[in-house]
Structure 1
Amino acid sequence: MAPKPPPPPPPHVIIFPFPAQGHVNAMLKLTELLLPAGLHITYLITAKDHRSLTTRLNHPGFQFHVIQGLYEGPMDTGDKLSVMIDCLTEITTPLLRNLIIGNPVISCVIADGIMDFALAAAEGTGVPVVFFRTVSACAFWAYFSIQDLINSGELPFEGTNLDERIVNVKGMEGFLRRRDLPSFCRSGLSNRTLQQVSSITRRAPDADAIILNTFDDLEGPIVSQIQKHCPNIYTIGPLHAHLKSRSTSKSTSSNSLFEEDKTCIGWLDRQPPKSVLYVSFGSIATVTRDQLLEFWYGLVNSKKRFLWVIREDLVSSNDDKSKVPSELEEGTKERGYLVGWAPQEDVLAHPAVCAFLTHNGWNSTLESIIAGVPMISWPFFADQQINSRFVEAVWKLGLDMKDTCNRTTVVRIVNEVMEVRKDEFTESANQMAKLAMKSVREGGSSYCNLDRLIEDIKTMSIQCKDK
């Protein structure tokens, strides 16, 4: 009897995130969701991010491929973001192509959607490219619509009236203002980041599919707008909740690029229920010293308890970092706790936390939604402006204080969310949290879409072998 032929190799996927905390975090969580399905994954990561990862995936089907020689500076401005995009395009397009050509079992590439050069790298190989957009669907759609705003004359805009209505982003006509557009839309059409992001996003229909870290009950109407141009979309979020719902373990890796100070959990344990404002502006946002002090005075003067993440590089490097006023130090000792980085999912899930003062990065926004925690929004740049508008005007999950930073406003908004309208926002947040959890449980929309994605990847593997 002839020996049985060896079993075919498992589908092999290349996953390539943009090198920033939120992107790396989200795509590692996607990796953890795909591995139990028997897929093999090569995860491309920069040397800097690989050094910084506080946890490592340990799975026989997983490997890191570390990329050397990329820009390792900050990305807290549009110009610096453009530097990274240019550097990635130049260095990793040939690298990615060589990986695809040199490995005949590659089934597909899942690339961060901001890196459209993946299409060029895979061109002519027969290997499908799937874009994972780590921003919200509403931000992606706003990016996609930039050219429509230019064609209609809504961009560039003149004058100082940022509250004028924007009417040529389909599905947002009733509530979108100039100030809610991505931050780079305020700088004129010559802005490099605006040009890059608009051009890259318009290439999304060239990909074989789009993955979005969202769920249908949250952004279904906007996803429907996107599907007119990109019909094959997998909404599989919130990823961190989806991962927990499918995991047999009660603990999952944090995927953080920062060392977490878990002493804050002990401090939270000593606070009354629903009494603490959690404050974090994410991994990239910076503030001036004056802004820092205005926030600090506002937090202390609000008389609320607060847990505040103050990264080493939170204050702009060219700003004076002299001694903090004594009244702020005393007020913080009474009611506040400061850390360099926090285990955010655990913090938001803690019963002592009442609200979240956030920059509205998409991972932070989803983590707040899953935890049922109302938000106070102070966006920094890019997608965060539009996320914050949806938090207030569409989802009714909190208040948006973009473009303002003074202690009086901070006190007023904190008291509005944590006292005056506390019950209203808590009820709304709890309802959305229930819908989010429903989506990632068996039979839910995100759960079914992930299963569909896995089956489609396996089909891609068969089709690649037949070529």
Structure 2
Amino acid sequence: MSYGTRKPHFVLVPLFAQGHMIPMIDLARLLALRGMVVSVVTTPRNTARFKAMIDRANAAGLLIRFAELRFPCAEVGLSEGCENVDLLPSEELARNFFAGLNMLREPLLVYLRQQCSKPSCIISDACCPWTSEVARELRVPRLVFHGPSCFFLLCTHNVSKHKSGGHLADAFEPFLVPGFPHKLEVVRAQSLKFFDYPGWEKLRDEAAEAEASADGLVINSFRELEAAYIDSYQKALEKKVWAIGPVCLSNNETGDEVARGNNTNVDENQIRNWLDAKETGSVIYVSFGSIASHSSSHLIEIGLGLEASKRPFIWVIKEKEMSPEVASWLSEGFEERTSWRGLILKGWAPQMLILSHPSVGGFMTHCGWNSTLEAVSVGVPMITWPHFADQFLNEKLVVEVLRIGVALKINMSIPRITGDSEGLITREEVEKAVSELLDGGAEGEERRKRAKELGEKAKKAMEGGQSCEDLTLMIRHALELAEEGRLPVHRSSS
């Protein structure tokens, strides 16, 4: 296929949430490494978070640019600057945020029509169904990028067809997922699709329609990890699925690991030197993503459990979690008592830099797919504590199927953990989980071996393996459709 001197132009539209934006930026880098021009749709606050990373890519000769749009905060009742999910002051404002996202349709159309280089393809997050109209008006192919695991996508697809009434009394009644590649027992309350909640029906239906009309689906995973689920999902949707991950392995330079995701005020040399002084596989890394927040009592229980474990640890505490009570507790003894083996990072942390260090032997995580796949990609086993959405099913994949994790709280009957949730975990449970993961006898050794083997498979997939092949096939498919789009015959989106 010849494009003459014009490079193909891919436009990426992420959901403005860190767990969705980070892999989309990684995908931008993968496309640019294949010679594509890539435009990533952002807003001023989101541009600032990723500017260092994009600047490094451009300095290396990669053609990645920001398509920066103004986010209509005032128009939807948000304070100025609320341009990312983690910047919302309360969950109640999520509907306002998605209403603002939907209002970007016209500004994006105007922006793209003004560009000298017509888009060859739009790849949009599954949570941005409004992009289907943009692609239709521009007559360009559109692919849907899914942030969650294919395990989650297939399970929730099949569960949505499960006929059990759906009443509140059934929310935590276990049942087997119909049509799944293997036996899997779930509860409905923890196995819902995105937006499958009261009040979100319109967005749920729009997302389903946008997926059904897409020209293909892109997932951040690899076949060696999820082959059975990928094949089943393709069959269920009658839609091609390309697994092109783990995309986090597209960044193997130290500077990219540090800049990846947000600006950080921590000294990477301090972290590296601290880890260098620890024994191989001895450190537990504790971080629960950018959105989940905890009550003061939960943070204190986590800290006391880490202290009781007597293991070295790196613990990330978000700025919004740093209440006067927590700050006082940290400064009035905890930091001093654990200073010889504990490192507390306040704010954003360079997660891949930490996880990929040989001294890290385990990761206590909320099971967001981005964090889960980062751990898988470097062969680190996990302690799982899911908080909402896809995280409960990701835990099942990690603990029950892959058997590379230990659940912090077994059979937790709750659909969502919020910042004011109380009494869900204890220091004894934290201590026990850390000891089981880092020691665990023969079972622990087997768990570490399985995690290491998956990490090796992930690297092979990205270094000339199946994920590389899927990326090639995805690009070829999109560009062939773009060629068809030049013809005067209207191309159906089905």
1:423 match: secondary structure: helix
- Structure 1 residues 16, 384: closer, same or farther in 2, change over 3 A? same
TM superposition shift of 1:182: 4.9
- Structure 1 residues 441, 146: closer, same or farther in 2, change over 3 A? same
- Asked whether 1:410 is paired with 2:430, we answer yes
- Asked whether 1:454 is paired with 2:475, we answer yes
Q: Counterpart of 1:426?
A: 448
User: TM-score w.r.t. structure 1 length?
Assistant: 0.87
CA contact (8 A) 1:17 1:24 kept: yes
CA contact (8 A) 2:220 2:247 kept: yes
TM superposition shift of 1:163: 6.5
Identity among equivalent pairs (%)? 26
User: TM-score w.r.t. structure 2 length?
Assistant: 0.83
Q: Counterpart of 1:3?
A: none
Aligned residue pair count: 448
1:111-155 deviations in Å (ceiling 9; x for gaps)? 111111111222243211111112211222344345324xx1263
Mind listing any 5+ residue stretches in structure 2 that lack a counterpart? 74-80, 413-423, 489-494
Mind listing any 5+ residue stretches in structure 1 that lack a counterpart? 1-5
- Structure 1 residues 52, 438: closer, same or farther in 2, change over 3 A? closer
Q: Counterpart of 1:153?
A: 164
CA distance in 2, matches of 1:124, 1:183: 28
CA distance in 2, matches of 1:302, 1:159: 38
Alignment of 1:1-400 (within 5 A): 7-53=4-50, 54-57=52-55, 58=58, 59=61, 61-71=63-73, 72-73=81-82, 75=85, 79-89=92-102, 91-103=103-115, 105-145=118-158, 147-149=160-162, 152-153=163-164, 155-158=166-169, 162=172, 164-168=174-178, 170-171=180-181, 173-178=183-188, 180-182=190-192, 191-193=198-200, 196-197=203-204, 200-201=207-208, 203-228=210-235, 229-242=237-250, 244=252, 252=256, 254-259=259-264, 261=266, 262=268, 263-314=270-321, 320-321=325-326, 323-324=328-329, 326-340=332-346, 341-400=348-407
The CA RMSD measured in Å over matched residues stands at 2.7
TM superposition shift of 1:213: 0.4
CA contact (8 A) 1:130 1:209 kept: yes
CA contact (8 A) 2:157 2:193 kept: no
- Structure 1 residues 409, 203: closer, same or farther in 2, change over 3 A? same
* Paired AA for residue 237 in structure 1: G
2:41 match: secondary structure: strand
* Paired AA for residue 25 in structure 2: L
* Paired AA for residue 95 in structure 1: P
CA contact (8 A) 1:182 1:381 kept: no
CA distance in 2, matches of 1:445, 1:374: 23
TM superposition shift of 1:227: 0.5
- Structure 1 residues 426, 446: closer, same or farther in 2, change over 3 A? same
Deviates more, 1:257-266 or 1:210-219: 257-266
2:144 match: secondary structure: strand
CA contact (8 A) 2:159 2:178 kept: no
TM superposition shift of 1:300: 0.7
CA contact (8 A) 1:11 1:457 kept: no
